[in-house]
Amino acid sequence: GAERRSMVMTEDEKKLTAYHESGHALCMLYAEGHEPLHKVTIIPRGRALGITMFLPERDKYSQSKLELKAMLTSLFGGRIAEELIFGSERVTTGAADDIRRATGLARRMVTEFGFSDKLGPLRYAENEEEVFLGHSVTQRKNVSDATAKVIDDEIRRVIDEGEQAARAILTAHMDELHALAHGLLEYETLSADEIRRLIRGERIVRETSTGPAAEEPRPGRRSSVPPSGRPSGIGPEPEPQPGG
């Protein structure tokens, strides 16, 4: 969406947003099977205070279980980052859409994609409804109460695994989380290459309108972040996907 530079954020809000988006970004970098990180910004766009985007390397017609688990991990990266840095009592509503998307994805993994060992490769539709004038006129229950309980438990398990994976990544890379958040507070928008430079403790190089490229040192420790494997100079690209 269009940038909303007229929107005024307090310093505390900017700091929290920077850590939230940094959490998403690091989980995208380190979660095995995730699509390559593309860009992170804390400039408000639409209803979002910040956006973390990934860019698929090619058109995809299906996704593996590993890729979906990586997506769940990155969705919880923002909320877990808030909790680790500011404490559980200061976690905000900023992750509401992340939670909505994660819950929907986990439910589909369990009830549609056959990614639950307990439920097996069966499709479970708890209710099938015909809607007339906004009201349900028929409702047929397709699963027993016992099966519905197993579905709920499996959705909870998948969500918990995503949260735990995000927590493990951010706890192991706490120095990088700080370095990336500080970089966002200074530059507001960072490309994937600039993110990797920051978390390796290298300098960000940007072209200036009045002279040669400027170099500025950034804090942070060195890290072995794997390259995205995406060649440069590719032709038309698919639309970057927001991470929340």
Residue 61 CB burial class (10 angstroms; 0-12, 13-18, ≥19): exposed
Residue 158 CB burial class (10 angstroms; 0-12, 13-18, ≥19): buried
Q: Which of 11, 21, 188, 207 is catalytic?
A: 21
CB within 8 Å of 172: residues ≥ 6 apart: none
Cα separation, 48 vs 17, whole angstroms: 10
Which of 215, 213, 178, 214 lies closest to 199 in space, CA to CA?
178
Cα separation, 204 vs 52, whole angstroms: 19
* 21 annotated active-site: yes
Beta strand 135-141 with 189-191 is: unpaired
Tell me the catalytic residues.
Answer: 21
